[in-house]
Structure formats: structure tokens, C-alpha cells
């Protein structure tokens, strides 16, 4: 039986809106999230500036709830999304995540397949994030997925999820994904071999880094897209200033990897 003190603490937490729940699994995107997919823009094929080409891509993707993250290469490239000074900054850690130009079980977003509109000059190429270096099985490529891998944020976020694919149903490269935030490892979540599925983690206190482990399968490799995250909500106090909601656990400060 709970003590009166514990019951009082719980009642106070509910009354003040303080969240005490541990991290938990999610499989959808909340309103207000940033949802990045990854794209290479071929400078030699655009008819305008890179800035305008990026804006055109963003406008074309907006109806699909996706923001473009422009990368520097379609194979073995690094992924850096947004401005480090912005709440929408996201860094899949270099040398853990790499770009990959084959969709496998994914389908490129409709604007990329629009050969009469946005992509009539084939200037845009959608790419994906993987936890292995190409060429697979041949030096300097990887024979298996790199685990764990991490994603970092400029400010605490309360949710992170992505579309993940563990490979073909007949011989999956991985069968589960496990997330760890704020030192808490969630139970592994099942992949659906042959079909990308959204998997993720939420923690009301916020986190600035999520660790991802691929489990099971033959090589523990995976391919992913549409990395979505929700910056921590700000509570406006009586003085009119926005301040973080006081958590019982503290999100670790961002320490971005080189």
C-alpha cells in the first residue's frame, strides 16, 4: 500500500503538471514536430541558387509533413540538419550514420518522382540514413551495422522517432530496434522485415541524445528515413517569460560529437 507521503507527492505532481513517467515507446509523430528526410541537390542541374532550390524542395515537401535535410553526398556522406543555434537542429552522429542512395523497401517521396514538375531536371535525389559504411563487406566498407548509433539535438526534445527498415522478409538484416534516453533503455521494438515502420521514444523531461541499437537478424544493419523530433514545450510563467517545465529528472546537456 502506498504511504500517505507518496500519495501526496503523486497528487502534487498531477496538480502541478510535473511528469514522472519513464521513457516510453511511440510509433507516430506529434503535432509541432520537425520531420526530416534527406536529400542531395545536384548543383550542376539546378537552374537557380542552392538556397532557392532548397526552398523549392521545402515547399514541395510541406504537404507531406516533411522538411528537407540537404546532405553532402548520396553514399557514405554525413548528415547535419538545420542550424546548430536552432531548436530544429539534429545531428545523426558522423561515423555512426551515413547516407545511402538505395531505397530498398522505401519509396521516394512524390515530389522526387515528379519528372514534369519539381524534379524535371533530375536535380533532387532522396537518400537514406544507414548504420554501415559502403561497400558492404569490402574494405573500407562494413560487414555489419555499427551499433550503437546516436542522434543529438541542440535543445531537449520530448520525442524522437524514425521510419526504419530491417531488410528483406526472407533474410532480415535486423529484427528489432532499442532506444536509450537519459540512461534508460526501453524494451526492444519489433521491425517488420520488408516494410518500413515508425519506431521511437518519448520522455516528458526531455533529452538531447538518443542511442539506437539494432538487434537480431544477420548483420544488425538498418536503413531509415523521416527522423522526427519534438522540442520540449515551454511553459509561460506569470512574468510572461517562457521557461522549461521543471522536471524531476534532468535531460543531459548537448555535447555534439565531431
46-64 pLDDT tens trace: 999 999 999 999 999 999 9
In this predicted model, which residue has the larger pLDDT, 226 or 16?
226
Reported as a pLDDT band with limits 50, 70 and 90, residue 193 is confident
Q: Is 211 helix (H, G, I), strand (E, B) or coil?
A: strand
The predicted pLDDT at position 21 comes to 75
Query: What's the CATH number for 22-232?
Result: 2.60.120
The predicted pLDDT at position 140 comes to 79
Q: What is the mean pLDDT of residues 18-24?
A: 71
Exposed e or buried b per residue across 45-82, where buried means at least 16 C-beta atoms within 10 angstroms of its C-beta: ebeeeeeebbebbeebbeeeebbbbbbeebebbebbbb
Strand ranges (DSSP E) for 42-181? 67-70, 90-92, 98-100, 124-130, 149-165, 176-181
- 246 vs 236: CA distance, rounded Å: 12
Question: How high does pLDDT run on average in the chain?
Answer: 86
pLDDT surpassing 60 at residue 15: no
Reported as a pLDDT band with limits 50, 70 and 90, residue 110 is very high
Reported as a pLDDT band with limits 50, 70 and 90, residue 23 is very high
Amino acid at each position: 500500500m502506498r504511504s500517505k507521503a507518496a500519495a501526496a507527492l503523486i497528487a502534487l505532481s498531477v496538480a502541478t503538471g510535473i511528469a514522472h513517467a519513464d521513457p516510453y515507446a511511440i510509433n507516430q509523430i506529434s503535432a509541432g514536430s520537425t520531420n526530416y528526410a534527406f536529400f542531395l541537390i545536384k548543383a550542376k542541374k539546378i537552374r537557380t541558387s542552392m538556397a532557392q532550390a532548397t526552398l523549392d524542395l521545402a515547399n514541395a515537401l510541406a504537404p507531406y509533413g516533411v522538411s528537407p535535410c540537404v546532405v553532402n553526398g548520396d553514399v557514405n556522406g554525413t548528415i547535419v540538419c538545420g542550424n546548430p543555434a536552432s531548436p530544429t537542429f539534429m545531428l545523426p552522429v558522423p561515423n555512426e550514420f551515413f547516407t545511402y542512395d538505395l531505397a530498398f523497401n522505401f519509396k521516394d517521396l512524390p515530389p522526387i518522382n515528379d519528372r514534369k514538375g519539381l524534379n524535371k531536371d533530375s536535380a533532387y535525389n532522396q537518400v537514406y540514413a544507414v548504420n554501415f559504411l559502403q561497400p558492404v563487406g569490402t574494405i573500407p566498407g562494413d560487414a555489419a551495422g555499427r551499433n550503437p548509433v546516436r542522434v543529438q539535438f541542440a535543445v531537449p526534445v520530448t520525442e524522437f522517432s524514425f521510419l526504419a527498415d530491417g531488410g528483406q522478409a526472407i533474410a532480415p538484416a535486423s529484427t528489432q530496434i532499442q532506444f536509450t534516453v537519459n540512461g534508460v533503455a526501453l524494451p526492444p521494438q519489433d521491425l517488420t522485415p520488408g516494410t518500413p515502420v515508425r519506431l521511437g521514444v518519448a520522455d516528458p523531461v526531455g533529452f538531447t541524445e538518443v542511442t539506437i541499437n539494432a538487434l537480431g537478424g544477420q548483420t544488425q544493419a538498418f536503413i531509415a528515413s523521416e527522423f522526427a523530433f519534438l522540442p520540449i514545450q515551454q511553459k509561460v510563467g506569470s512574468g510572461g517569460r517562457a521557461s522549461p517545465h521543471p522536471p524531476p529528472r534532468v535531460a543531459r546537456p548537448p555535447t555534439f560529437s565531431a
